[in-house]
């Protein structure tokens, strides 16, 4: 069966891979190619953030956690399992997703002004490496990727899978979608091997093999994709308090991504006349974290339709 997948971010590529490897004739169409997408800007750690509803997000995130742990055995995938700390300015219960990470531990000592924190081990995904690897895996399974900007959903395809992120505002006429702007700074790897997160600003330091992603911002309904120099300075100042070694790190670049936020992720079938569409968009700040679980659900929905 022929399937058109709209979008070449982490969701389009993951769904494309799973469908192609299950024997579907898969073709991705995308205005932005993988390295130009929001997905390429993500830090990215497995961490459920800004995505609802929790029960479905938890199930997708759990499947993805296991998938990323398995991928970490493949050095070409860009996935590495790393320990790190989340610092908190108050005392709270364990996070709602704690059951997924095997080793969540309360920290005994946290620096001021923090009051508590926890450590755990989680997948860190070097997105440019990983997206290229997903594209190769898609093509090895017979799938294709073509740059194409669409003005609406195709209406003569066998099956359409809509993974267009924020683009679904136009393609699915969905005005519940909105951007949550995230700015990051890419710096030299200066020997940092643990990730650190302070969710209150947010501020995070995510080490990768050859560089470090330092963030960030989460400004709702801001569409500007140009990096702001003053914001970058403030990000670096906050992050250097968390990880003093960053004071010596050379800045390699600045990126902005618009997280596709929505009151809840849309993953469902819409029957448009004789042509079904599987929508899979609106993953907010957790599109990488939920990607394999969502792709598996897309496959299950496709099987039910064929």
Ligand X SMILES: Cc1cc2nc3c(=O)[nH]c(=O)nc-3n(C[C@H](O)[C@H](O)[C@H](O)COP(=O)(O)OP(=O)(O)OC[C@H]3O[C@@H](n4cnc5c(N)ncnc54)[C@H](O)[C@@H]3O)c2cc1C
What element of type H or E holds 116? strand 116-125
Q: Is residue 10 part of the contact set for ligand X (CB under 6 A)?
A: yes
- How many residues appear in the chain? 306
Stretch that binds ligand X, among 29-37, 83-91, 100-108, 228-236 (CB under 6 A): 29-37
Q: In the complex, what is the shortest distance from the CB of residue 189 to ligand X, in angstroms, rounded to a whole number?
A: 18
Q: What angle do CA 41, 58, 214 make, to 5 degrees?
A: 25
Q: Classify burial at 164, counting beta carbons within 10 Å of its beta carbon; exposed 0-12, middle 13-18, buried 19 or more.
A: buried
If you search the block for the tokens 């995130």, which residue do you land on? 61
Q: Which is nearer to ligand X, 9 or 84 (CB)?
A: 9
Q: In the complex, what is the shortest distance from the CB of residue 306 to ligand X, in angstroms, rounded to a whole number?
A: 23
Q: Classify burial at 95, counting beta carbons within 10 Å of its beta carbon; exposed 0-12, middle 13-18, buried 19 or more.
A: middle
Q: Is residue 259 part of the contact set for ligand X (CB under 6 A)?
A: yes
| Token pair of 44 as six digits | 């990215």
If you search the block for the tokens 């936020």, which residue do you land on? 261
| Token pair of 162 as six digits | 């809509």
Residues 174-233 that bind ligand X (CB under 6 A): 182, 184, 215-216
Q: Which is nearer to ligand X, 85 or 164 (CB)?
A: 164
Q: Is residue 287 part of the contact set for ligand X (CB under 6 A)?
A: yes
Residues 228-257 that bind ligand X (CB under 6 A): 257
Binding residues for ligand X, per CB under 6 A?
6-12, 29-32, 37-39, 41-45, 47, 148-150, 163-167, 170-171, 182, 184, 215-216, 257, 259-260, 281, 283-289
């Amino acid at each position: 069966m022929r399937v058109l997948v709209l979008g070449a971010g982490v969701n389009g590529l993951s769904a494309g891979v799973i469908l192609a490897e299950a024997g579907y004739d898969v073709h991705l169409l995308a205005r932005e190619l993988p390295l130009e997408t929001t997905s390429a800007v993500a830090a990215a750690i497995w961490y459920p953030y800004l995505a609802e509803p929790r029960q479905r997000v938890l199930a997708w995130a759990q499947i993805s956690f296991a998938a990323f742990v398995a991928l970490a055995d493949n050095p070409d995938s860009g996935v590495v399992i790393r320990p790190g700390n989340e610092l908190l300015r108050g005392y709270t219960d364990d996070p709602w997703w704690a059951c997924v990470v095997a080793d969540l531990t309360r920290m005994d000592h946290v620096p001021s002004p923090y009051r508590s924190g926890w450590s755990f081990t989680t997948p860190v995904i070097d997105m440019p490496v990983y997206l290229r690897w997903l594209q190769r895996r898609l093509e090895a399974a017979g799938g294709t990727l073509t740059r194409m900007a669409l003005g609406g959903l195709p209406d003569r395809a066998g099956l359409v899978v809509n993974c267009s992120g924020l683009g679904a505002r136009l393609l699915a006429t969905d005005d519940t979608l909105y951007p949550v702007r995230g700015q990051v700074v890419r710096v030299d790897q200066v020997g940092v091997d643990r990730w650190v997160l302070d969710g209150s600003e947010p501020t995070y330091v995510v080490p990768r093999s050859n560089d470090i992603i330092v963030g960030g911002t989460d400004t709702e309904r801001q569409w500007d994709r140009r990096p702001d120099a003053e914001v970058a300075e403030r990000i670096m100042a906050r992050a250097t308090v968390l990880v003093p070694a960053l004071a010596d790190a050379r800045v390699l670049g600045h990126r902005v991504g618009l997280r596709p936020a929505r009151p809840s992720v849309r993953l469902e079938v819409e029957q448009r006349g004789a042509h079904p569409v599987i929508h899979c968009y609106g993953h907010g700040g957790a599109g990488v974290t939920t990607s394999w679980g969502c792709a598996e659900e897309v496959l299950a929905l496709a099987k039910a339709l064929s």
